[in-house]
Amino acid sequence: MKVGTDGVLLGAWVEIRSGVRRILDIGSGTGLIALMLAQRTAEWAEEVRIVGVDVDDVSQARENADASPWSGRVAFEQCPVQRFEPEAAFDLIVSNPPFFVDSLTCPDAGRTQARHAVTLPFEELCDAVVRLLAPGGRFAAVLPVTEAARFRSICRGRLRLVRSTEVRTTPRHPAKRLLMEFAAADENAVGDPISTSLTIGTGEHECYTPEYRALTRDFYLKF
């Protein structure tokens, strides 16, 4: 679970608006998404600072950042986000959170923690985002479709969906993941959420759609 498609999708899909200066990656893991966002902001916003926070050891994330060109703009802290107390709020928060709320846990403790909402229940994730998001800020996440519906229900009245993308693995399969962008619910709503779809593969082995290539080509050497 070092580099997963979910993380790549979120890191490439999330909108980074011009006023963004402070970014938080909740559940940073190996630092994949944080480093993708550092890469995306490298040319036009050297003053952008990115913090990754995780309940697990963050030494690998720090090692990965140190080996990158953006080590001066990325920092990682080992701390449950429920107890994370930064100096200032964040303009953008992203998370590839634990999921599979009601499914059986895996015998491997590491995979259980990564795949199940054990250390970060959806209610507590919503609480953390509301507490840490700056006025006018955005929160983006990726979840399986069923868990995304559950998370949206939990966030009702606190976070408002403004943009989403359904993700299919191939044209023949139903949507497996939902990319979501939220704003604070008390901000003035303008229109309905923007909804789009994305298909990753054509259905043939190792063949990817032009849309997926365009979205992720800056992060895959094979593209």
Write the CATH number for 63.
3.40.50.150
User: How high is the pLDDT of residue 196?
Assistant: 98
Residue 87 lies in a domain: yes
Within the chain, residue ranges assigned H as helices are 5-13, 32-40, 59-66, 109-115, 122-132, 145-155, 210-216
What confidence tens digit (pLDDT) does each residue in 42-58 have?
987 678 999 999 999 99
Residues 6 or more apart in contact with residue 198 via CB below 8 angstroms: 9, 165, 166, 167, 168, 179, 209, 211, 212, 215
Instruction: Quote the pTM value.
Output: 0.90
Residue 78 lies in a domain: yes
Residue 223 lies in a domain: no
| CA dist list (Å): 207 to 102, 211, 222 | 34, 12, 11
In one-letter notation, the amino acid at residue 35 is: L
User: How high is the pLDDT of residue 112?
Assistant: 42
User: How high is the pLDDT of residue 205?
Assistant: 86
Q: What are phi and psi for residue 59, nearest 5 degrees? A: -65, -35
User: How high is the pLDDT of residue 99?
Assistant: 62
User: How high is the pLDDT of residue 44?
Assistant: 78
Nearest Cα neighbor of 125 from 61, 72, 82 is 82
User: How high is the pLDDT of residue 191?
Assistant: 78
Residue 148 lies in a domain: yes
User: How high is the pLDDT of residue 77?
Assistant: 97
User: How high is the pLDDT of residue 111?
Assistant: 45
User: How high is the pLDDT of residue 107?
Assistant: 52
Number of domains in the chain: 1
Task: Give per-residue burial for 172-204: e unless 16+ CB within 10 Å, then b.
Answer: eeebebbbbbbbbeeeeeeeeeeeeebbbbeee
Residue 150 lies in a domain: yes
User: How high is the pLDDT of residue 118?
Assistant: 56
In one-letter notation, the amino acid at residue 200 is: I
User: How high is the pLDDT of residue 2?
Assistant: 66
207: domain range? Answer: 5-216
Q: Give the pLDDT of the chain (223 residues) as one tens digit per residue.
A: 467 899 999 999 999 998 999 999 999 999 999 999 999 999 876 789 999 999 999 999 999 999 999 999 999 999 999 999 999 999 999 999 976 544 444 455 444 444 444 578 999 999 999 999 999 999 999 999 999 999 999 999 999 999 999 999 999 999 999 999 999 998 777 778 999 999 999 999 889 999 999 999 999 988 8
Residue 221 lies in a domain: no
